[in-house]
A and B are shown apart, each in its own frame.
Chain A
Amino acid sequence: DAVAVLPAPQNLSVQSTNMKHVLTWSPVVVPEEIIHYSVEYQGEYESLYMSHIWIPSSWCSPTAGPECDITDDITATVPYNLRVRAVLGSQTSAWSTLKQPFNQNSTILTPPGMEVTQDGFHLVIKLEDLGPQFEYFVAYWRKESGAEEHVKMVMNGGVPVHLETMEPGSAYCVKAQTFVKAIGRHSAFSQAECVKVQGETLPL
């Protein structure tokens, strides 16, 4: 049967970091031919209530590369089944299905990138913009023994924001972590960065 001649993609896996989920697989190689792929997904609802129903991925039905950003397809914190097949003209391979369903609560949360600067006596922080699902907790303190730690929630990254008006001649340290409400998880805190008023950034 000509249709099954095209080999199915192998080695499906999902890499997920900071709520960006990418499905990858080994490319199907047919000499002198350009192979495309089709990706489909199924949430827990579909697999429980209508197991024959698969939904085409937002960005990869079809796609040329052996990977697919499925972030926009994963819209609930439930296990998702994922499958891929190769397409060559009117020929399609069999479907390959991800062995283990993927759940976004397994995403790796990294500490946010941050730039700590100063403008006069203003302590300013600019956080890496990780997208709308992220909130940021910024902890900062005056670099002296017994100093109290202050915490401020910053709603979005990518914009330099004033944290504190510093005392002349003092140094302040800052660290930050992210929080994702959809999965109820925090990242670890970033390395602390310190700034001395009218001085340059001090390594810890």
Chain B
Amino acid sequence: HNTEDTSNLLQHVKFQSSNFENILTWDSRLESSPDTVYSVQYKTYGEGEWLAKEGCQRITRKSCNLTMETGNLTEFYYAQVTAIDREGQSATKMTDRFNSLQHTIIKPPDVTCIPKVRSIQMIVHPTYTPIHAKNGHRLTLEDIFQDLFYRLELHINHTYQMHLGGKQREFEFFGLTPDTEFLGTIMILVPTWSKESAPYKCRVKTLPDRTWT
């Protein structure tokens, strides 16, 4: 897709998206090209016009935040970068077709692990995205993905695991040995999109049992 074969100036133009934060990135094969400037345009698939991204015109850095411009979950987008070096050589390259629902990666959840004597409670905090609903409030991952659920594993002395899972946010592993260390891992899963976050990990120790002391 590049109008001029000067791939030294510009390569790997692509979207990197996590939790619906959509960043356009690129790089150049020329190690030192401080004077090369880059300009970014984007368009909605199915529409004619390329639009210039304000704030990413004639920049020297190699990334541009297009979150707001590519935030409609039912739309597909393209972005393109034009690089111009000191001698006036230029190259333009386009991304693959992008849709944040398909491409975004889910980050690990934010969790509070609370040890008790014979149990460990885990509270998953909502993950807010940059996407806004019509009424202006920010959407969480749960708002966006109908079938999102949490999967919790408690690893017990490296031999077996306790599993809990569900859409709720509060979980508790019961029947544990007091004064013992456990490793908990908590993931977000979205089956329909085959998305699975990296695990949030917490290492906690149950409290000593002082009832008989």
Contact = CB atoms under 8 A, between A and B. Distances in A.
Interface of A: 117, 119-122, 124, 126, 154, 159-162, 165
Contacts of A161: 160-163
B193 interface: no
Contacts of B160: 117, 119, 122, 124, 126, 159-162
B162 A121 contact: no
B159 A119 contact: yes
B157 to A, nearest CB: 8
B161 A165 contact: no
B167 to A, nearest CB: 15
19 contacts: A119-B156, A119-B157, A119-B160, A120-B177, A121-B175, A122-B156, A124-B160, A126-B160, A159-B161, A160-B159, A160-B160, A160-B161, A161-B161, A161-B162, A161-B163, A162-B154, A162-B156, A162-B160, A162-B162
B174 interface: yes
The interface residues of chain A, by DSSP majority, are classed as: strand
The interface residues of chain B, by DSSP majority, are classed as: strand
A15 B159 CA distance: 36
B161 A122 contact: no
A12 to B, nearest CB: 35
Contacts of B175: 121-122, 165
Interface of B: 154, 156-157, 159-163, 174-175, 177
A121 B157 CA distance: 14
5 cross-chain pairs, A with B, having the tightest CB-CB distances, nearest first:
A165-B175, A160-B160, A162-B162, A124-B160, A161-B163
Contacts of B174: 165
A89 B211 CA distance: 81
Contacts of B177: 120
Given A120-B177, A122-B175, A162 B161 contact: yes
B163 to A, nearest CB: 6
Contacts of A165: 174-175
Nearest to A154: B163
Nearest to A165: B175
A160 B157 CA distance: 12
